Structures are given as structure tokens and as C-alpha cells.
Amino acid sequence: MEIGFAAALLVFGALLWLAASLSGVMRGTVLSISVFSVACGIVLAQLDVVSVDPASTDLRHLVELALIVTLFSDGLVVERELLRRHWASPARSLIVALPITMLLLALGSILAHGLTDTVAANWIAGRVSEREVEAEKEEGG
């Protein structure tokens, strides 16, 4: 289903309004606007309102930009003095929770899409290099 610019703008505005409306409710929970946005994206993709090509370089750049903006904005919120006194919780999150989250995401991706994709198989093997992937494709691998 293709939607025009006006319809896309309307959907985006409605989601933005809903996120702003729910921000007070989500404040004390594990949910955040980021999680809400991802969930909305998944729902819209399942309803065939939006379609995304996972191999698109534009999508890759957009995701990298979103990650950088999110990390910088989170870093600006942290108070240095508070972090100096209470460093154990963030350190525990980085050392324990981050690797577990990455493994769960990788496992979910494997279960959802399998290992048939060359890039996913190379990523699992620890050989993520666009040159290696292209060389394998050219060789017929």
C-alpha cells in the first residue's frame, strides 16, 4: 500500500501527538518514546502502511543518525556529579545488560529471518565487512 506525502505527514503527526500525550504516563515505566516509536513502526509495517528495504543504505544512515542523536541526548541529561556518586548502576547496565540485549536481538533476528542472508551469516561469524560480502557474492558464495 503506497501512501502519499500528505497521508504520511498525517500518520507522523498523529503518532507524534500520541507519543506526547503518553509521555507523562510512560515517565515512571520501562517504556519510552523510543520503544513506542519502534512498536508503532512494527505495527505500521505489519499493516502494510509503510515498507522498508532493509538493504537500503539510506535506511542504514538514518538508523546511525538516530542512534547518535539518542546517545548524545541521553549523555546531555546525565548529571556528572550524580554519575560520579552512583556509577555502579550504569556500569552494570553496560557490562551485563547491553551484551544480553545484543544477544537477544541477534537471536530474535535469526529466529525471524533465518541465517540465509549472507550479511547475517557473516555478522554471526564475526566477519562483517562489506568487501568480504561483495567478494563472496561475486564468487557465487
pLDDT digits (tens, 9 = 90+) for 74-122: 777 777 777 777 777 778 877 888 888 888 887 887 777 666 655 566 6
How many angstroms separate the CA atoms of 79 and 77, rounded?
6
Residue 42 and residue 1 share a domain: yes
Q: Domain end: 43, 62, 85, which one?
A: 85
Of these ranges, 9-18, 67-76, 86-95, the one predicted with the greatest mean pLDDT is: 9-18
| Domain assignment of residue 27, given as a range | 1-51
The tally of domains found in the chain comes to: 3
Residue 91 and residue 81 share a domain: no
Query: Where do the DSSP E strands lie in the chain?
Result: none
pLDDT tops 70 at residue 128: no
How many angstroms separate the CA atoms of 133 and 141, rounded?
9
Q: What is the pLDDT of residue 79?
A: 75
Q: What is the pLDDT of residue 117?
A: 59
Residue 46 and residue 62 share a domain: no
